[in-house]
Amino acid sequence: MAEPLNYAEKYEQALANAYPQQLHFAALRSTENDSRYTFLNAKTIHIPILSTTGRTNASRDEITGFSRNFENDWEDKTLTFHREWSTLVHPMDIDETNQVASITNITRTFNEQQKFPEMDDYLVSKLHSDWVDAGGEDITTELTTANILEVFDTLMMDMDEGDVPATGRLLYVNPKTYKMLKNAEKIGRSISVNGQNDEEINRLIARLDEVNIEKVPSKHMKTAYDFTTGSKVGASAKQIQMFLVHPSCVITPEKYDFVGLSAPDAKSKGKWLYYEESYGDVFILNQRIAGLRFVTEGTGGLSS
C-alpha cells in the first residue's frame, strides 16, 4: 500500500504566500532575519552573530602588525511551539455537501479561522513574555487623547537611545488606541521656520510618520493566551494598548515536519485522513532587545 505523500515543503511555501493577506503581524514574519538562521535539527536553529573591533589611530611612518579583528559566534534557539492538527472526512460528507466539506475547503477554513489567529496570538504574547524576561518594563500609563502623543514620544525616545534604526519601525495599536491617536490633542504643532510662526507641521507627517501604524483587533493584542486547543485569552492576560517594534529584532522560524493526506483505507475506516505537524516559535534576538517597547493597560508611570 502506498504511503501518504509528505507535502510539508510545498505547504510551507503556500502558507508564506498567504501570510500577508491573513496575518495581522505579517510584517514580523517576513523579516531580514528569516534568511540568517539554519536548522540544526527539527527544533533548533543556529543564528550567526558577527562582531568587530573599532578603528584605531593610523601612522604615516610605520606599518603595524595585522590581526583578526572580528568574532564569529552563534546564538542557538530551541523551538517550543510544537503543534499538530488532523481531521477525518467521510467521502459521503463531501458528496452530500456538494464539495463544501472537501479537504481543500476544510483546511482553508482551518487556516483562516484557527491557525492564522493562533499564530498572531502566539507572536504577540511570546514577544511580550520574552521582552519582560529580558528585563523590559511595560509603560502602564492610562492613555488619553491628552497624553497619548507624549507616551508615543517616550517609546520613540527609548528606541533612539537604544540606537534602533528610525527607518522601519512599526507601531501596532488596538482600535481604541488608534481612535485616540486620530483625536489626540496637539496633533498639529506650529513651529518657527526661518523666524516665521505661520508654518504648521502635522504630527502625522512628522514624528508619527516615521513609523507605519497597524491596527489590530483587541482580542489579538493580549499578553497571555491558552494554547491547549487553538487559542483562547489567558486568565492572566493584560490588554496591550500598543507596541513599537523594529522588525530587525524579531525572528520567527517555522518548520513543517509533515503535511499529508491519506486516501480512504481500512486503517482510517474508509475515510480521508489529513494530518499536519509543525515546529515554530518567535524570538527576540539577544543583542537587539532595544527594538521593542510595550504599553499595556493599567495605571502607572512611564517606566525607564
- Residue-wise pLDDT tens digits, 52-85: 888 888 888 888 778 888 888 888 889 999 999 9
Grid coordinates representing 51?
562582531
The domain defined by 8-185+214-296 folds into phage-related protein like fold (3.90.1690)
CA 223 to chain centre: 13
% of the chain exceeding 70 in pLDDT: 81
Question: Which of 21-35, 141-155, 241-255 is predicted with the least confidence, judged by mean pLDDT?
Answer: 21-35
Residue with cell 520574552: 130
Instruction: Kindly indicate the confidence band of residue 89, based on its pLDDT and cuts at 50, 70 and 90.
Output: confident
Category of 175 on φ-ψ map: left (φ > 0), alpha (ψ -120 to 50) or beta: alpha
Q: Which pLDDT value is given to residue 233?
A: 97
DSSP 145-170: TTTHHHHHHHHHHHHHHTT--STT-E
At 19 the pLDDT is 62
> Residue length, the chain?
304
pLDDT mean over 106-123: 92
Structural contact between residues 267 and 106, judged by C-beta atoms closer than 8 angstroms: no
pLDDT by residue (tens digit) across 197-236? 444 445 444 346 578 899 999 999 999 999 999 999 999 9
Cβ neighbours of 65 (radius 10 Å): 4
Q: What is the Cα gyration radius of the chain?
A: 24
**Helix (H), strand (E) at residue 52:** strand 44-52
Q: How far apart, in Å, are the Cα atoms of 298 and each of 116, 139, 192, 226? A: 28, 9, 37, 22
144 vs 6, residue with greater confidence = 144
Contact present, 288 and 39 (Cβ < 8 Å): no
Q: State the pLDDT at residue 206.
A: 37
pTM score = 0.81
pLDDT tens-digit map of 227-283: 999 999 999 999 999 999 999 999 999 888 788 888 888 988 999 888 999 999 999
Helix (H, G, I), strand (E, B) or coil at 115: helix
Q: Which residues, 6+ apart, have CB-to-CB distance to 273 below 8 Å?
A: 4, 86, 87, 88, 261, 262
d(CA 63, CA 59): 7
* Domain segments of the chain as ranges: 8-185+214-296
60-64, 95-99, 105-109: which has the minimum mean pLDDT?
95-99
Question: In this predicted structure, what is the pLDDT of residue 190?
Answer: 46
Q: Cα-flanking dihedrals φ and ψ of residue 64, to 5°?
A: -90, 170
Region of poorest pLDDT, from 55-69, 79-93, 284-298 = 55-69
